[in-house]
């Protein structure tokens, strides 16, 4: 059971889903994702699939590349970076927990961009790249 939970956490599902890890009825799962695949880690068989075979763009590829370029630049990870109006997404209107003027070290912006898929953090990192 623990390995199933680890897969669910890795895929970023909510605590509601974790409590219902063995519920295989798609109507009982509250997933915001358009695509999902939950595997039994020991047996290697799918427990739940939602549009798992559909071709989808890689949403976080840009964030991963931003992180790699940021790390390769050798800039100080303790340097404070500030979220600016340029980091706001007015085209798609994506949400963020980072408000205008938020100041965090480059290290924390990296963590937010990668672990929370935080678009404003990735934008701030890119904007502060030499």
Question: 73 catalytic, yes or no?
Answer: no
Q: With contact defined as beta carbons under 8 Å apart, do 98 and 120 qualify? A: yes
Candidate list 60, 73, 94, 96, residue with the active-site label:
60
Q: How far apart are CA 87 and CA 94, in angstroms?
A: 11
CB 26 within 8 A of CB 48: yes
Question: Can you tell me the distance from the alpha carbon of 93 to that of 119, in angstroms, rounded to the nearest whole number?
Answer: 11
- Catalytic residue status for 30: no
Catalytic site includes residue 4: no
* Selected catalytic residue, list 63, 73, 92, 96: 63
Check 4, 50, 116, 117 and give the catalytic one: 117
Active site residues: 60, 63, 117
């Amino acid at each position: 059971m623990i390995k199933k939970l680890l897969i669910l956490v890795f895929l970023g599902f909510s605590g509601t889903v974790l409590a219902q890890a063995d519920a295989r009825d798609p109507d009982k799962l509250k997933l915001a994702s358009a695509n999902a695949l939950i595997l039994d880690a020991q047996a290697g068989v799918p427990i739940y699939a939602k549009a798992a075979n559909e071709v989808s763009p890689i949403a976080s590829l840009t964030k991963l590349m931003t992180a790699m370029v940021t790390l390769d630049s050798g800039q100080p990870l303790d340097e404070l970076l500030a979220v600016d109006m340029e980091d706001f997404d007015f085209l798609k209107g994506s949400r963020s927990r980072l408000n205008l003027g938020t100041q965090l070290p480059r290290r924390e912006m990296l963590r937010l961009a990668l672990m929370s898929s935080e678009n404003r953090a990735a934008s701030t990192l890119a904007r502060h790249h030499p």
